[in-house]
Amino acid sequence: WNETEALLRMQLIDWYSAGEGVKEIAERIEGVFEQCDKTRSILIARTETIMAANEGALYGYEEAGVDKMEFYAALDERLCDECMDLHNEIFDKGDAHGVIPVHPQCRCKFLPVI
């Protein structure tokens, strides 16, 4: 598993550096996992994109001096119970990292508490 994780990590770094979209990262993921079909690769790509966007936002908030983050769930018909339970929960800056995505294709995000 460590080798696969390293290969996936390298593809994510290359994808981010190239400024590519979900389609391109999905294609990169298909190249890492021999038994990964297009549907699964897109699921992984979307999930990793959400994770990267949220982690980047958290670091930006921290650099701006924000100490608290609010979990904001995507409030629509696809909202799950787990994300609804976290909606509006306040996290200290160090505790927010690694929370999102809560599950594959999670669409939630953190907002700064100002």
Cα(55)–Cα(76) distance, integer angstroms: 23
Q: pLDDT in tens for each of the 114 residues of the chain?
A: 567 677 777 887 887 788 888 888 788 777 777 667 778 778 888 888 888 889 999 999 999 999 999 999 999 999 999 999 999 999 998 999 999 999 988 999 999 999
Q: What is this structure's pTM?
A: 0.75
Q: Find out whether 60 and 54 touch, Cβ atoms under 8 Å.
A: no
Upper half-sphere CA count for residue 46 (Cβ side, 13 Å): 12
